[in-house]
Chain A
Amino acid sequence: MIQVQHLTKQYAGRMAVDDVTFEVEPGQIVGFLGPNGAGKSTTMRILSGYMPPTSGRARVNGHDVFHESLAVRRSVGYMPETAPLYTEMRVKEYLRFRAELKGLAGQAMRRRVGEVMDLCSVTDARRRLIGNLSKGYRQRVALADALLHEPPLLILDEPSNGLDPVQIRQVRELLRGLRPKHTILLSTHILPEVESLCDRVVMIHHGRLLADDTPENLARRLRTLTEVHAELRGSGEMTAALEALPGVRKASAEEAGDGWQRLVLRVEPRQDVREAVMALASERGWQVRELHRRLPGLEEVFVELASAESPGVF
């Protein structure tokens, strides 16, 4: 669905996207991640046919983004980051205008506008001026616009930005429901969303590609320490004994009341010390009321990758 090869974009000599190569298969939901200023929006603008790359090639649905810009725009539903809309229009009127621009007409157009308004829950605001809508509503109107012509590819730049938690969940369900028919490339800073929604993650930083894999694989390859959390009660020096266990780098304890201690163990990557902790506790006669391992999530991956001075960690 998307083929990006050595894509580069400069703004007045400043590199925004630097030699990025990746592919997106049809039917996938791909999370596009990176810190602020990484070049996500720039890449998405190029892919939606808004502006050409400085060098390199990008093909969307088999069409070149520069030479066949119109065909690309027909197959892409794009939602810009700031959701710019005509503030002097009413919601339904705006969506009808956009639907007509995208080639819908007559009865089919009216029906489709009704459908997307329902999908994005803006039907109750259909007669309101866009200029008077709250940020979340505008965001949803922009999403409705992107869905209008049922494009095979959706490019959504921070679609859940500014939505309340209920709406974030609704949008997530909406996108999940689109999966078999539509391919989705979305950028976001809400990492749990990516973990639960995306089949793949493409991560860039300073315009360069850092990672391109499934969320689970990324977490597995992470170098950061995993953590084991335990709540124990008993006598004796706990932290020293726990730190003596193989694989444990560091243990820290804090009072949890009633003689209970809450312990956090920092553990070498890809090691599981829970059984050893359990054995130690029964040997010393400690009571255990909690013991669990916290696997590193995308958030840790993100922080580690983004803070790495030189890319190429993976």
Chain B
Amino acid sequence: MRIFWVLLKKELRAFFVSPMAYIVLALVMVLNGFCLRAALSVLERGPSEGSIVTWTFHAMWFWLSYFFIFPLLTMRLFAEEKKMGTLETLFTAPVRTWQVVWSKYAASVLLYCLLWTPSALNFALVDWITAGQVEMPAGALKGSYLILFVMGLFNLAIGCFASSLTSNQIIAAVVSFTMSLLHFLGGLFISVIGRQVSESFVDIIHYIASTEHIRIFTNGLIDTRPLVYYTSFALLFLALTHQVVESRRWKP
């Protein structure tokens, strides 16, 4: 476990000495601002069924920015070490593969969480400026950040996996972006078409359609199905990453 912390510390440092962390942070802050602006303009038009929280995470801006976060956070994790050859130095020290995989993943998860703190501050700011006049249900906030967290776990695991496949960061980024986006579009497609085709699709929708998850959770409802779905697939992708990193030890 000590080794894990040493590795995690190193990974976090690596994020903050490279410009990447600041670029992503700036990007997300700006887009969060746009999201909030969009939500406020919806509310200005008169009474609506969702709260400011719902509309913030439903803004087009949100999805536009969302899938860029993951490749940016994860592309260098393994690809850079492969390229520089430092994986060889790393794995000739007494470290276990899981310690390496999990420390890299944990670092990206921590940074991802950090990315959302400005948006939480935004809500606090709105609350403060309007002296509590904008309705901001606590359940909706909790739900929103919970679903954002587990969706993050899932997409970051995909990013880790993509990065372990190649020594080229650009390829890692493209693969991770494509996989995340395909999953999202697949869910969207099923949620739009599925309902009209057959009732049996409705169940699947609840599992895989990210847009549905956001809709439900930002309204303050907590559904365990997507939580289980995202975390178990995150674990699956981490297990795959572990296998890929271990593959040099396979006998040909």
Contact = CB atoms under 8 A, between A and B. Distances in A.
A51 B86 contact: no
B92 A88 contact: no
Given A12-B252, A88-B14, A97-B10, A73 B93 contact: yes
Contact of B6 (A13, A51, A89, A100): A100
Contact of A80 (B3, B17, B92): B92
Given A86-B14, A100-B6, A51 B93 contact: no
Interface in A277-305: none
B86 A88 contact: no
Contact of A101 (B14, B94, B251): B94
Interface SS of chain B: helix, strand, loop or mixed? helix
Interface in B193-252: 248-249, 251-252
A84 B88 contact: yes
B37 interface: no
A46 B29 CA distance: 48
A50 B86 CA distance: 12
B88 A87 contact: no
Nearest to B250: A52
B48 interface: no
A128 interface: no
B14 A97 contact: no
Nearest to B89: A84
A103 interface: yes
Interface string A138-166: 00001001000000000000000000000
A88 B92 CA distance: 20
A101 B3 contact: yes
B85 interface: yes
B18 interface: yes
B107 interface: no
B95 interface: yes
B3 A10 contact: no
Interface in A1-43: 10-13
Nearest to A87: B84
A225 interface: no
Interface residues of A, number: 34
B53 interface: no
A70 B7 CA distance: 17
Interface residues of B, number: 24
Given A82-B85, A86-B86, A49 B92 contact: yes
Contact of B84 (A13, A49, A70, A84): A84
A101 B8 CA distance: 11
B14 A52 contact: no
A282 B251 CA distance: 70
A54 B89 contact: no
B92 A73 contact: yes
A10 B251 CA distance: 9
Contacts of B88: 45, 50, 80, 84
B91 interface: yes
A50 B94 contact: no
A12 B86 CA distance: 22
Contacts of A12: 252
Contact of A50 (B10, B14, B91): B91
A138 B84 CA distance: 13
A76 B248 CA distance: 19
A101 B7 contact: yes
B84 A51 contact: no
Contacts of A187: none
A78 B251 contact: no
B213 to A, nearest CB: 37
Nearest to B18: A88
A11 B7 CA distance: 30
B248 A51 contact: yes
B94 A73 contact: yes
Interface in A33-78: 45, 48-52, 54, 66, 70, 73-74, 76, 78
B68 to A, nearest CB: 23
A89 B84 CA distance: 13
Contacts of B92: 48-50, 73, 76, 78, 80
A52 B248 CA distance: 8
A102 interface: yes
Contacts of A191: none
A98 B93 contact: yes
A37 to B, nearest CB: 18
Contacts of A54: 251-252
Contacts of A175: none
29 contacts: A10-B252, A13-B252, A48-B92, A49-B91, A49-B92, A50-B91, A51-B248, A52-B251, A54-B252, A70-B94, A70-B96, A73-B92, A73-B93, A73-B94, A80-B85, A80-B92, A82-B85, A84-B84, A84-B85, A85-B84, A85-B89, A86-B14, A88-B18, A97-B6, A98-B93, A101-B3, A101-B94, A102-B93, A105-B2
Minimum-distance CB pairs A-B, first 5: A84-B85, A100-B6, A78-B92, A101-B93, A73-B94
